[in-house]
Amino acid sequence: MRSIEGKGSLVCLLASALALAGSVFGAAPQDAAPRPFVSPIFGDHMVLQRGRANSIWGWSQPGDSVRVDIREASATATAGADGKWQALIQPPPAGGPYKVKITGRAQSLELQDVLVGDVWICAGQSNMQFGLAQARNGAEELKAAAELTDIRYYVVVQRSSYSRVDVPSGS
């Protein structure tokens, strides 16, 4: 496996400002289904930013204590009156794969194949929606990119927010 400049892994988040605000951090409508234990932005095959504490958050029962473990590091958080919890955890050294275990009173989740490296956020106009295959020399670029197995992509679904958006602190 090859990594970018030998510094770990890379993830590229493709989003417009409205999509990022509306679908990642947006407040749930009053009649929406219950919020997930862990925000859907976190999952198997994700990349955590190296060299700094990372926020991991979700929702649980008010007052629930939630613990996040990555290798030897752990962090805890308590769900507020609105059910939101947020843990700030220092990731292990760049590389991986690692497992991230998130445990609450009534539920738990283990994320697999998590890398630690550099996270890049790429945003722009509609041209950000073009895939690599559509680029000049796309077929050759795809062939070369197939060897870069430490690169991960997360595409944020485009959705507008029609109300105030709360961004978790520390993110």
pLDDT in tens, the chain (171 residues): 333 344 444 443 333 332 333 344 444 445 456 889 999 999 999 999 999 999 999 999 999 999 999 999 999 999 999 999 999 999 999 999 999 999 999 999 999 999 999 999 888 777 777 888 888 899 998 898 888 888 888 877 777 778 877 766 554
Q: Is residue 76 part of a domain?
A: yes
Looking at residue 152, its pLDDT comes to 85
Range of the domain at 148: 4-155
Q: Is residue 91 part of a domain?
A: yes
In a domain, residue 103? The reply is yes
Do the domain assignments include residue 80? yes
pTM of the shown model: 0.72
CATH of the domain at 130: 2.60.40.10
Alpha carbons 137 and 47: distance in angstroms, whole number: 28
User: Is residue 163 situated within a structural domain?
Assistant: no
**Residue 164 domain flag:** no
Given this model, what pLDDT does residue 17 score? 31
Counted domains in the chain? 1
- Residue 47: the pLDDT is 96
At residue 162, the pLDDT reads 81
Give a yes or no: residue 166 inside a domain.
no
CA distances to 28, 62, 108, 111 from 8, rounded to whole Å, are 35, 37, 28, 18
Dump strand ranges (E) for the chain.
10-15, 47-49, 54-59, 65-70, 73-78, 84-89, 95-103, 108-123, 151-155
Spacing of C-alpha 136 from chain mean position: 30
Please indicate, yes or no, if residue 108 is contained in any of the structural domains: yes
